[in-house]
Amino acid sequence: MNNKFFLMRHAQSDHNVGNWISADEETDKKSQLTKTGIEQTHRLGKELKKVGIDLIYHSPFQRVAATCSIVNQYLKVPVLVERRLSQMNCGVFNGKIWAERERFFLDEVEKLSKRPPGGESLLDLKARMVAALRDINARHQQKKILIISHGNPLRLLQLAALNLPDVAVFTDRRVVRWKSDVSPEPFFDELLINENFSLSHPVDLSSLRCINLTERQMFDLELILVNGFAPLKGFLKEEDYFSVMEKMRLQNGALWPMPIVLDWRQSDRPVLGETVALCDHFGNPLAFMKVESVYQPDKIREARLVYGTEKLSHPGVAYLFNNTHDWYVGGEVSFVGLPIHYAFRELRKTPAELKEFFRQGGWDKVIGFNTRNPIHRAHFELMRNAARHYQAKVLLHPIVGSTNEGDVDYITRVRTYKIIHERYMKDFAFLSLLPLAMRMAGPREAVWHALVRKNYGCSHFIVGRDHAGPKDESGNPFYDKYASQELAKQYADEIGIEIITPKEMAYVEEENRYLPIDQIAANQTVKVISGTALREMLLSGAEFPDWFSFPETIGELRRWAELKNYEA
Ligand code: ADX
Ligand code: MG
């Protein structure tokens, strides 16, 4: 603690000059420091010697290591490599030029928060750099520490240290300096740490083990912490896990259909009674958990009972067998901080906030609507019809946690929700985002969704056809079209929510409107555009008929398809 940090960008490389993205180690290996870069670094080494640097941490990239070895000819201090100081992973744009990446990010929200396929967002990078710096800081006392990294990581670190709002990364002069790729003048920056940016961890972690959560575990934890998963207060203990699988109930009898579990690598050796810190991917602490139960799951039974199948073509089952460790630990969690989301903060209402909003507006009947897709006409019809029929308001409550593979990314979707809500639904609906990690468990998932919506203040919940149901490798659904409706209805009273079960809606050409399929005559013409057809039409730039969607939605989807195309 009480260390002083000095930031330095690696020396100019040929890739910098050509504006290439060398953000993966493969591309980095092909880059070389330029003559200018090498000269700059020698001059900078002499400058830094006057500062009296005690040690160096640097990114593992070879251009940074090369820079470090030049500077250290002058400093002769210990050198440590820190992986989290790497360049921002640009995913599909790695090895391309920066301008190519730029054109896919439309506004500041996207520039900050959108992850390119396979890559990180700017704000992922911020969380990573802050966690790295905190850990480095905790390891040393009263040292002058030189950090050698890359332009983007250093900018984000400055942003955090100066405690500036995120958008300042584009505007504030104090955080844009590292762009000076071709600057003839070498320089380093003493990290100015604003009093509001604490370099110590928000809680004392010195005696605790930090468990890095997966993305799914983070979403689960968030919903536990905001009471979206009430009555759960933590991750399931052994008796609750088996009871939930077999009876859809906790040991104490409370209805709960989905195993919310914390899987753990065996090598981490959880100890009963130990308190651990649950941290995000980069080491930022989110909660404490006292380990009350350590057990081995029965994955085959879990697959059969929760998903009704052991087939790996079911995404929930695949996750269970391929991405879940062989030990589960359970216990109650206590709050340290919520996972930080940067995009659309104003749309992420907690259960308490939503209930208060409904109460103040006198919304005594609220119909929850779940979706993981952009809003097309069929979704709209479901919501509007239900609102009219029940004389109620609608909570448009799309999922922004993990959804099915191949789904449209949530940032693109939220742009469609905002605009459709604003233009067509404002008088009867409220929009809020739900950070839930879907399992695609069909009927059980529908019961779970209804319970969660009850927690968020809904009095009604729509379960349509094949709700939260995935398809197998040949495109066949895993569950019967109305199985989710049946199971949800069965538990409606106990949950205390009314389940609305519309029949499948389809567009009828002769009547120019959507109708439930049981009301369509045999001689009428039904029109549908399947998910696969939709994607092909987007990629080929085909025009869409009005009945299918909204021009606003299609516009956003074309941008999404362009990125998909790029990926392919
Ligand atoms: S999910 O819940 O099923 O995963 P999706 O976005 O596809 O999300 O659907 C949202 C909701 O609308 C679900 O309740 C689904 O059952 C319902 N739904 C979607 N399309 C139709 C349709 N054509 N007819 C009836 N219900 C539908
Ligand atoms: Mg669906």
Is pLDDT above 50 for 115?
yes
* Ligand 1 pocket member 376 (CB < 6 A): no
* Cα 442 to ligand 2 centroid, rounded to whole Å: 9
Cis-peptide, bond into residue 231, ω within 30° of zero? yes
* Cα 468 to ligand 2 centroid, rounded to whole Å: 5
User: What percentage of the chain exceeds 70 in pLDDT?
Assistant: 96
Whole-angstrom CA distances from 139 to 84, 132, 144, 200, 407 are 15, 11, 13, 11, 42
Q: What is the mean pLDDT of residues 487-495?
A: 98
Give residue 180's pLDDT: 47
| Spatial distance between the Cα atoms of 194 and 157, rounded to a whole number of angstroms | 12
Give residue 357's pLDDT: 97
* Cα 423 to ligand 1 centroid, rounded to whole Å: 21
Is pLDDT above 80 for 34?
yes
Residue 503 Cα: closest atom of ligand 1:
25
Q: Is residue 232 within a helix (H) or strand (E), and if so which, with residue range?
A: none
If one residue of 367, 369, 370 were mutated to test the ligand 1 pocket, choosing by the most ligand atoms within 8 A of its CB, it would be 370
* Ligand 1 pocket member 378 (CB < 6 A): yes
The residues near 161 (Cβ < 8 Å, ≥ 6 apart) are 191, 192, 193, 194, 197
Is pLDDT above 60 for 184?
no
Instruction: Find the radius of gyration of the CA atoms of the chain.
Output: 26
If one residue of 314, 373, 527 were mutated to test the ligand 1 pocket, choosing by the most ligand atoms within 8 A of its CB, it would be 373
488: tokens are 């949800």
This prediction's pTM: 0.85
Give residue 219's pLDDT: 97
Give residue 181's pLDDT: 54
Torsional sign, CA 101, 418, 346, 164: positive
Which of 120-134, 135-149, 220-234, 545-559 holds the top average pLDDT? 220-234
Is pLDDT above 60 for 76?
yes
Which residues are marked as active site?
A: 371-373
Q: How confident is the model at residue 70 (pLDDT cuts 50, 70, 90)?
A: very high
Is pLDDT above 90 for 118?
no
Q: Which residue has the higher pLDDT, 176 or 363?
A: 363
Between 119-128, 276-285, 481-490, the lowest mean confidence (pLDDT) is in 276-285
Is pLDDT above 50 for 292?
yes
Q: What is the mean pLDDT of residues 251-267?
A: 94
Give residue 28's pLDDT: 82
Is pLDDT above 70 for 275?
yes
Put residue 266 in one of left, alpha, beta given phi > 0 → left and psi -120 to 50 → alpha.
alpha
Is pLDDT above 60 for 369?
yes
Q: What is the mean pLDDT of residues 198-219?
A: 81
pLDDT digit string (tens) for 398-442?
Answer: 999 999 988 899 999 999 999 999 999 999 999 999 999 999 999
Question: What mean pLDDT is reported for the chain?
Answer: 91
Give residue 186's pLDDT: 61
- Specify whether the CB–CB gap between 55 and 146 falls below 8 A: yes
Give residue 32's pLDDT: 86
Q: Which amino acid, 72?
A: N
Give residue 36's pLDDT: 85
Pairing of strands 4-9, 189-190: antiparallel
Q: What is the mean pLDDT of residues 369-390?
A: 96
| Spatial distance between the Cα atoms of 279 and 316, rounded to a whole number of angstroms | 24
Give residue 285's pLDDT: 83
Give residue 564's pLDDT: 79
Residue 395, beta-bridge partner list: 368, 430
- Specify whether the CB–CB gap between 70 and 37 falls below 8 A: no
DSSP one-letter code for 304: I
* Ligand 1 pocket member 371 (CB < 6 A): yes
Cβ atoms < 10 Å from Cβ of 525: 10
Cβ atoms < 10 Å from Cβ of 374: 25
H helix runs in 114-214, sequence order: 122-139, 151-161, 168-171
Q: What is the mean pLDDT of residues 552-559?
A: 91
Give residue 194's pLDDT: 67
User: What percentage of the chain exceeds 90 in pLDDT?
Assistant: 65
Give residue 437's pLDDT: 98
- Specify whether the CB–CB gap between 313 and 472 falls below 8 A: yes
* Ligand 1 pocket member 477 (CB < 6 A): no
Cβ atoms < 10 Å from Cβ of 33: 21
If one residue of 466, 526, 547, 553 were mutated to test the ligand 1 pocket, choosing by the most ligand atoms within 8 A of its CB, it would be 466
Q: Which residue has the higher pLDDT, 249 or 170?
A: 249
* Cα 307 to ligand 2 centroid, rounded to whole Å: 16
pLDDT digit string (tens) for 317-346?
Answer: 999 999 999 999 999 999 888 887 878 889
Q: What is the mean pLDDT of residues 252-280?
A: 91
